[in-house]
Chain A
């Protein structure tokens, strides 16, 4: 993979605030743009459209949703920022990047939310709605002016934009429309094709009537023209055209498409953020190809429903997030014990308990591997890109059915809402689940004829004459008869465990990003891949002997890792979950809690793997990772 997008700062735009019409175009390799508003004002749609237009022009894009935890946070509140972050690049972009270079804000409060979260670079360009300066409520006007002065003093380049006034020239209700004005401005500022933007609007509002499309296009053009006439800087990020068709969806949609493509027929779920949007999209499209999304009464029921469907038919899937995943544990154990194929998707969010419902975290790795009481071996996959989200479901279905196992797919809130173009997949019959076997079971076959070395067996599905047996969650023998015999229990648990070894033997060693030897190997899993590899690439460019390893199969881990570790002097796992730092007064080697992957790797490979992790609810930034790696290198 070569996604070594640069970390270098873009050349700064002319700082002058004076409005001029000369079109000084600055060519950039990449830029990070944010659009924030109160929720309901459409900043998200503006951001998504902006990303889509840029992607259509061939730019690499990564879009991240900025979501308040409440559905309708109070208007003009610091915690209420809703919108999108779009990172545009000349080439493929693999993560949300570092601090924003340009922000469009519909009021100063949501903007302050982003400033305080440290999301803006030091001299970030800010395009701020100016209507509040003249607001009839003196308090609001004062708060606006105070914020404005503070931002200017802090060195941000603030442009006041009369969005409200300009929009009122086009439409009566600006709450629905200011976002398209903003989109027009951005298209002008980033030299995007206005015609593509019009087409995007037609696509977005196509289902509504023509007048809606027309007024939105008028707003778009108004924004475009206003920026052309009044702003004195332009950017251009020349795109390196992709040679193949690309599809642009977020991680959750990619998973839903993966479910479609896997041939699974039943998806049972209970609404929970951030997993729900996958089921929303799936509900729209699954039935057209004969699939069913069942919204169960709770997550336990959803899991049990999927297990029932799997048992009697093709492998089924249940989708959830943290709290729902916890509820499913007992049923997952049943699927393990009964050896029923099952795909469980956990779009991780911040935990424990209700935690951070809309924020990203990688806190469920150990529970995915070790969850459910007793010895409950499961397969755990973690997609690391939007493309992986699609293929991981197809892979999960296939493993589940081949090994009669539970396969957990660990995505997270970061992948769920991020968009990144990837090569349009080419359909293959091999993706689909095979038809349900209804042939007669030969005499003498048993429902659990565990293979002596691999534990693998052929399951009997209802409808197969001669295969009648009662599946049970109690300990059982090869005939599925309840058995409390010590030898049988020892043997059946061994057989279920061996399947992991059998699967592991089919895996290729994971590729190392960078040289096969060096001073430091950074190790990650899941959604942090883009940020880690970007940071590592930038350090490699500076002649640091750093490489990285990214795992997408966490249980079982592929072979060859021990050999990879031999090439390096030090190791650092980087992940978005908790670990103690040794700087803590009470923490030492005897009680330090390591991050999840570090814990796994330390115990398996007996290597002193250090870790760095954070749980700020945000995707880890490449700049942060670069700093952390440099610190680690300096300490030694």
Chain B
């Protein structure tokens, strides 16, 4: 009894995590890179939610932003360019007990992985997805991305990007089964934190587009917005974000928006300036694919054996009565059918 209590207390003590428990390698992003702010917010979230590091996986593709998992002290999967989402889906399907986060860049998600993005929204698996949208290819040194604004000069568009930028929010909100869409900017860390927290608590595919500064390649791009709080509009609602007093003092441009309102969300999503920040849409009733598929069921060997024998029975030809039924069945032993020994 006593031992059990001590054990329990010890475990409670053990289970409390500090920020350091989530800090992995030293980030190698450029000074001032918005990815640092996202990392800080996420580490804070993990601490506050007391997530067990061994039960948490950060999945990414390739890009500056996709280095993210290396800087966490959880499990991480730094895969290949564009494929973070299907990898994360496989993880969630195999292990619904894990907390799954995805970090993906605008090239990773909206260009090479765009097909997966659309389908991931539709699968609506329970995971938190951060789109680090710096509107440029950072890692490969400044090529235009699908979200680069028209006219942006880059190494592949020296005379300015030819096309209008793709809008991640309107795209996501247009997909069937969308269940959570929010927008944040890296330079308002407290709001970024609140949005990520709401995203984490939403059961389903939580998609957060984060406008992320890349001082290396686009050093002045966001200056006008940084210096003018009026160019951000905070979405608030009792069912959405509640704006803290100190934030409210600075960001006075606010809009009441109920996140159940999909049409309203789509309308807001199409506004580019001032930048809407907050929760655009939330619908907790959309079913999750892993639940529809009954992921995570226990599969005792007996169940598998029974299923297999039922199938074998369907296709079995029994030898004549005189031959065998009475005699012991000399089927092959478990292993001699294998190709190797």
Contact = CB atoms under 8 A, between A and B. Distances in A.
Interface stretch (A12-20, A137-145, A282-290): A282-290
B333 A426 contact: yes
A251 to B, nearest CB: 13
B35 interface: no
B334 A266 contact: no
A481 B25 contact: yes
A241 interface: yes
A215 to B, nearest CB: 24
A304 B308 contact: no
B318 A330 contact: no
A476 B262 CA distance: 45
Contacts of B10: none
Interface string A300-315: 1110111111111110
A272 interface: no
Interface stretch (B83-91, B191-199, B273-281): B83-91
Contact of A257 (B59, B69, B308, B337): B308
A316 B90 contact: yes
Interface stretch (A121-129, A153-161, A417-425, A580-588): A417-425
B149 to A, nearest CB: 29
Given A294-B93, A310-B90, A425-B331, A285 B317 contact: no
A391 B94 contact: no
Interface string B262-288: 000000000000000000000000000
B304 A426 contact: no
B340 A395 contact: yes
A310 B79 CA distance: 14
B270 to A, nearest CB: 26
A352 interface: no
Contacts of A474: 78
Contacts of B77: 308, 311, 470-471
A11 B53 CA distance: 75
A387 interface: yes
A152 interface: no
A309 B92 CA distance: 7
A331 B76 contact: no
A408 interface: no
Nearest to B340: A507
B329 interface: yes
A259 to B, nearest CB: 10
Interface string A458-480: 00001111111111111000000
A462 B75 contact: yes
B90 A462 contact: no
B90 A306 contact: yes
A334 B80 contact: yes
Interface string B295-309: 101110101111111
Contact of B90 (A263, A268, A395): A268
A371 to B, nearest CB: 15
Contact of B94 (A308, A338, A392, A394): A308
Contact of B298 (A245, A290, A507, A553): A290
A398 B338 CA distance: 10
B80 A473 contact: yes
B311 A300 contact: no
A468 to B, nearest CB: 5
A148 interface: no
Given A311-B90, A312-B57, A245 B341 contact: no
A468 B304 contact: no
Contact of B75 (A242, A261, A468): A468
Q: Which of A266, A313, A314 has the most CB of B within 10 A?
A: A313
B340 A249 contact: no
The DSSP consensus for interface residues of chain A is mixed
B220 to A, nearest CB: 31
A432 B301 contact: yes
Which interface class (under 10, 10 to 19, 20 to 34, 35 or more) fits B?
35 or more
Interface string B57-86: 111001000000110111111111001001
Interface in A513-543: none
B316 interface: yes
A405 to B, nearest CB: 14
Contact of A55 (B88, B119, B295, B317): B317
Given A308-B77, A473-B80, A391 B317 contact: no
Nearest to A261: B308
A232 interface: no
B216 interface: no
Given A244-B331, A247-B317, A300-B83, A265 B339 contact: no
A482 interface: yes
Contacts of B17: none
A468 B54 contact: yes
Contacts of B329: 244-245, 426
Given A245-B318, A247-B317, A313 B95 contact: yes
A267 B301 CA distance: 18
B302 to A, nearest CB: 10
A116 interface: no
B299 A289 contact: yes
A246 interface: yes
A425 B338 contact: no
Contact of B331 (A245, A304, A308, A432): A245
A242 B317 contact: yes
A287 B299 CA distance: 11
B294 interface: yes
B312 interface: yes
A2 interface: no
Given A305-B86, A425-B332, A507-B340, A265 B299 contact: yes
Interface of A: 55-56, 58, 241-249, 253, 257, 260-261, 263, 265-266, 268, 285, 287-292, 294, 296-298, 300-302, 304-314, 316, 330-331, 333-334, 338, 381, 383, 387-388, 390-392, 394-395, 398-399, 421, 423-432, 462-474, 481-482, 506-508, 552-553, 558
10 contacts: A245-B331, A257-B311, A266-B94, A308-B88, A391-B337, A428-B335, A462-B98, A473-B80, A481-B25, A508-B341
Given A289-B304, A426-B333, 8 more contacts: A297-B115, A301-B119, A304-B83, A305-B86, A311-B91, A333-B80, A470-B58, A472-B76
Shortest 8 CB-CB contacts between residues of A and residues of B:
A308-B90, A428-B334, A470-B76, A313-B94, A289-B307, A304-B86, A309-B90, A290-B299
Interface of B: 24-25, 52-55, 57-59, 62, 69-70, 72-80, 83, 86-95, 97-98, 115-116, 118-119, 293-295, 297-299, 301, 303-312, 315-320, 323-324, 329-335, 337-341
